[in-house]
Structure 1
Amino acid sequence: MKKLLLSTAVSAAMILSATAANAADYVVDTKGAHAFVNFKIKHLGYSWLHGRFNTFDGKFNYDAKNPNASQIMVNIDTTSLDSNHAERDKHLRGKDFLNVDKYPTATFKSTSIKFESDSGEVTGDFTLHGVTKTITFEIEKIGEGNDPWGGYRVGFEGETSLKLADYGIDYNLGPASTYVDIGLFIEGIRQ
């Protein structure tokens, strides 16, 4: 009986070890400019204003055989907001919107991931403007494989829509501009 219990314990440990070995840690490739945090918001309901955050970093854990056990964390430097217009960027970074002097960082940390094939949802805590809310990104796996430099990469994209007032941003841009769409496009390098 003792041999059977010992054998079962060793087998279980080997299975858990093999499962953990399949999971890998990745760093978001911001140095190679293969990742982006973009946003868009309606301008008066007549057109779209597009922009991005130029400085951010992130990391994630991913196992293609068990993708629902994955985790991701992203840190965004809100002072790096870029809408391709210096005066507008100054206003968006100011107290009417992001108030980057007081809140220089936004963060996202996943709490659950649900994949079905190569698409799914990532839910997590998003902190912006000093407020933390649970949000969900619709995500899609773009692909994975070896790169030409001897590394291994995997890429995803995700989008969600945020109500600005939920984060204490209530500057009146008109009824068509109360939500901002956020896009997260990442390519990770396996560590």
Structure 2
Amino acid sequence: MTNIVQAADYKIDTEGAHASIEFKVSHLGYSFVVGRFNQFEGEFSFDADKITDAKVNVTIDTASVDSNHAERDKHLRSSDFLNTGKFPKASFVSTSAIDKGDGNFVINGEFTFNGVTNPLAIDAQMIGEGQDPWGGYRSGFVGSTEFALKDYDVKVDLGPASANVILDLVVEGIRL
């Protein structure tokens, strides 16, 4: 008899604030502007024994950008950067996962931002999984990726030191 293992489906725990999407952009090569998106949602399917079957789908409310500076956030929401009036959402939909061993993997997908969709790879690592104190089951990960602003039609050129954005992700999901 063949033992069939299926990936479990999870909802990202944004209600409990056990997930985050943070960004970092060099400021003229001297320091970094850091911030986060306060509102996003998503789900994923994952089986630690068959990582290649992993699937991820995340939608970000780009107007929820928060760099801890109201005037800068207003500028980031403008057509110079996030263009939230025209494109209020960004999204990532996975297309494949590559198991790198020891809980490390790469999630490939399509990232849509500022009305442009491009392939994007996220380097990810499983943190852990198990029962929670409330009778549920959780699974947690961290991930990181980097992309060029010009690849997503961001018109403002802040110079070569500020050409790329680094996204750092913390994802905890509750099994459905």
Please classify the TM superposition score into its range, dividing by the shorter chain length. Answer: over 0.9
The equivalent of 2:155 in structure 1 is: 170
The equivalent of 1:129 in structure 2 is: 114
Q: Measure, in 1, the Cα distance between the counterparts of 2:143 and 2:10.
A: 17
Letter aligned with residue 19 of structure 1? V
Runs of 4+ in 1 over 3 A off after TM superposition: none
Q: Measure, in 2, the Cα distance between the counterparts of 1:152 and 1:140.
A: 18
Q: Measure, in 1, the Cα distance between the counterparts of 2:10 and 2:146.
A: 26
TM-score using structure 1 length: 0.89
Letter aligned with residue 159 of structure 1? S
TM-score using structure 2 length: 0.96
The equivalent of 2:70 in structure 1 is: 86
Could you tell me whether the CA contact under 8 Å between 2:108 and 2:119 is conserved in 1?
yes
The structure in which a higher percent of residues are helix is 1
- Structure 2: gaps of 5 or more residues: none
Q: Measure, in 1, the Cα distance between the counterparts of 2:90 and 2:175.
A: 24
Mapping 1:109-120, distance limit 5 Å:
109-115=93-99, 116-120=101-105
Shift of residue 117, structure 1, vs aligned partner: 2.3
Corresponding position: 1:186 with 2:166: no
Q: Measure, in 2, the Cα distance between the counterparts of 1:175 and 1:19.
A: 47
SS at match of 1:19: coil
Structure possessing the higher radius of gyration over alpha carbons: 1
CA deviations 1:46-105 (Å, max 9, x no partner) are 001100000000100111221111101000000100000000000000011111000000
Letter aligned with residue 24 of structure 2? K
Q: Alignment partner for residue 125 of structure 2, among 136, 140, 154?
A: 140
The equivalent of 1:160 in structure 2 is: 145
SS at match of 1:166: helix
What percentage of residue pairs aligned between the two structures are identical?
51
Shift of residue 139, structure 1, vs aligned partner: 0.6
- Structure 1: gaps of 5 or more residues: 1-10
CA deviations 1:122-154 (Å, max 9, x no partner) are 100000000000010111101111111111100
Could you tell me whether the CA contact under 8 Å between 2:47 and 2:54 is conserved in 1?
yes
Q: Measure, in 1, the Cα distance between the counterparts of 2:59 and 2:102.
A: 27
SS at match of 1:113: strand
Q: Alignment partner for residue 101 of structure 1, among 60, 69, 85?
A: 85
Q: Measure, in 1, the Cα distance between the counterparts of 2:49 and 2:161.
A: 42
Letter aligned with residue 28 of structure 1? I
The structure in which a higher percent of residues are strand is 2
Question: What RMSD over aligned residues (CA atoms) do the two structures have, in Å?
Answer: 1.1
